[in-house]
Chain A
Amino acid sequence: MSSREHILSRAKANKPDLLELPNLDLNVFTDGRDLIKEFKTKIEVVGGNVVDVVTKENVISQVSSLFPNTKVNFSTLEGTQDFNTVSLEALNKPHELEDLDIMILESNIGVAENGALWLSDNQIPIRVLPFITKHLVLVLNKENIVPFMHQAYQKLSSNATDFGVFISGPSKTADIEQSLVIGAQGALSLTVFIY
């Protein structure tokens, strides 16, 4: 008997009688908090920065003043060719993006309870980009903020993505004597533009 059959037959023989899957009543979680305010607070709690902008078009100029003198920049926002210093088509390997200073991406879901933003293959041209960049900038329309993870997954249920990630704040660690250090193996900073 192969290990597959062995494991499956033992799981079948040893499992208890079928127990029902609970039906989730999401109303029990309603807390009446202001979504935008909660979202912004949580981004700051997890070590990120929030910038309000009137429209998406204002993002690039604000980024340039927040991060002056950066060498390697890339943005997926429309009409930002002048900002981009690299061409993804010309890349042989994503490894060549090791020196990426700023990556600007759009997200279409923000979660108020934890400041997380969803990115999927549809928004990330190369999967490693939001992690390998020094500074990550995410842009979100405030209409796309949901209260809890439950609602985020309701929005995700219809689109099948090959890869996706919730990002909440910059990379961090507290592995040396529990001292929080922002900037571990992923992005050193996260700035969220809300319009």
Chain B
Amino acid sequence: MNHSKAASIFNKDEKKVDWHDKALWFVRHKRDKAVHAVEGWESLRNYGHGIKAHTLSNLDNYLIQFEENALKNGVQVHWAADGDEHNKIVHSILKAHNAKKVVKSKSMLTEECHLNPFLEADGIEVIDTDLGERIVQLAKEPPSHIVLPAIHKTKEEVDELFQEHLGTKPSGGDPQYLTGEARKHLRKKFISADAAITGVNFAIADTGGFVVCTNEGNADMGAHLAPVHIACMGIEKLIPKQEHLGVFLRLLARSATGQPITTYSSHFKKPINGNKMHIVIVDNGRTEQLSRPDFRASLHCIRCGACMNTCPIYRRSGGHSYDATIPGPIGSILSPGKDLTKHSSLPFASTLCGSCSDVCPVKIDIHSQLYKWRQIITKETPQPFVKKASMKMMGKVFAKPMQFERVGKVARWSLRNLPKGVINSKPNVWGKERDLPSGPTESFDDWYKKRTENEQ
């Protein structure tokens, strides 16, 4: 299903769309307040961009250095070329430790690889322990946002889910009560887990350590209690030195939610005595993206979600409409690199307003990349007949100034004089859910000529 069709499903519930739109805009606003309080914010973004660009330009050496140091720390390192290999590695580690109950903290990579169904097929229980992720897991849905996984769910929906699965009392969706009940439920899971899986926010080449950021404390509850900790990371999570965390930890939470830093920024290096720690390093299309000069900067992404919160399309179409693990503007430049045909509508799910690039903490030129994907997609994938024909027609009109002026005149007159029913008729999608403005009496060309004459 293409993006606009999937978005129209989300758009059926107008009240929910309005809430979703406003809630995310509020998060964007909190981001602005936090960012404006930081002296030198733009320098911080430039440093973030520069460190990531440098790391990618020396990625193979940093990966080798990271592995070497991690091994010295007593951590086992595994390499996975794709999602399937990643899943098999994690599965084999769990089998080797006879682990049947697994707690997992947020990791978009394991979502990307579809790890949960793979493990569940062998009877392994996998519990997502971030509250938002637990909610969507109970609802059997994927997350709709990378930082706010259940942003598409109302509190009443959560209330019903918890009644059904956790045996809670009807509370009308009281967040305090529901969070408390989730805490009790998850405590039991943490205490009885055989293994913990976490993602990785940053991996440090010169120490072999890695950092995991959460607000709930779920990654730490899992990793410190279970005898086995498996951390899964994409190759792009590397940074050269620990001191560079100073830049990224200042950027991440402010951009994500407007917090000055996440509650917990946990620096893992060596396993607890007697416990085991594994790192799985995953490619899954990343080295391919690295080969594309126009698109490799998308690998700078630190997964803050700011581009989603600010995007006028994302806010009104919901994360599920992108049908990809990473939705929103950043997802729309990552996904076509993985499957151009499946994700061919995503780069068009944008107004190219550029707000995503403006808020990106590592200065990815997201909207330029969206535009560049459009050029490739139009050439390489079949386009709908109506779009092709109308583009061709528009091309002809724009190519001849006289003709352009004539068409413009008709359009302006029509907007002023035709009844609304005709203007907003079905073929005109611009008239859907909105009134078009009245047509001006003169064109820009007319106005400009008149102005020049008056000046003389």
Contact = CB atoms under 8 A, between A and B. Distances in A.
24 contacts: A4-B79, A6-B283, A7-B281, A8-B64, A12-B59, A15-B57, A15-B59, A20-B50, A24-B47, A46-B263, A98-B191, A114-B261, A156-B242, A162-B270, A171-B215, A173-B215, A176-B158, A177-B173, A177-B175, A181-B175, A184-B183, A185-B186, A185-B187, A187-B217
Nearest to B262: A168
A69 to B, nearest CB: 20
A131 B221 contact: yes
A195 interface: no
A17 B257 CA distance: 35
B250 A148 contact: yes
B23 A178 contact: yes
A14 B236 CA distance: 13
Interface string B261-301: 11111111110100000000101000110110100100000
Given A19-B54, A169-B263, A7 B283 contact: yes
Interface in B27-67: 27, 38-40, 43-44, 46-47, 50-51, 53-54, 56-60, 63-64
B267 A3 contact: no
Contacts of A30: 39
A178 B151 contact: yes
A48 B288 CA distance: 45
Interface string B143-168: 00000111101110010000000000
Contacts of A173: 131-132, 179, 215-216
B454 interface: no
Contacts, number: 253
Interface of B: 23, 26-27, 38-40, 43-44, 46-47, 50-51, 53-54, 56-60, 63-64, 73, 79-81, 85, 129-132, 135, 148-151, 153-155, 158, 173, 175-176, 178-180, 182-183, 186-187, 190-191, 207, 215-218, 220-221, 224-225, 235, 240, 242-243, 245-247, 249-250, 257, 259-270, 272, 281, 283, 287-288, 290-291, 293, 296
A17 B130 CA distance: 40
Interface in A109-148: 111, 113-116, 126-128, 131-132, 148
B362 to A, nearest CB: 12
Contacts of B155: 176-177, 179
B215 A165 contact: no
A16 interface: yes
B263 A172 contact: yes
A37 interface: no
Nearest to B242: A153
Given A3-B85, A18-B58, A165-B264, A176 B218 contact: no
A2 B50 CA distance: 31
Contacts of A183: 179-180, 183
B216 A163 contact: no
Contact of B270 (A13, A28, A163, A167): A163
A19 B49 CA distance: 11
B261 A116 contact: yes
Interface of A: 2-4, 6-22, 24-25, 28-31, 42, 45-46, 94-95, 98, 111, 113-116, 126-128, 131-132, 148-150, 152-154, 156-157, 160-179, 181, 183-187
Nearest to B42: A28
B265 A184 contact: no
A10 B287 contact: yes
B249 to A, nearest CB: 5
Contact of A11 (B59, B154, B175, B180): B59
A185 B190 contact: yes
Contact of A29 (B39, B58, B267): B39
Contact of B260 (A113, A157, A161): A113
A7 B235 contact: yes
Contact of B235 (A11, A98, A171): A11
Contacts of B269: 160-163
A94 B56 contact: no
Contact of B221 (A12, A175, A185): A185
Contacts of B180: 183
Contact of B264 (A10, A15, A28, A186): A186
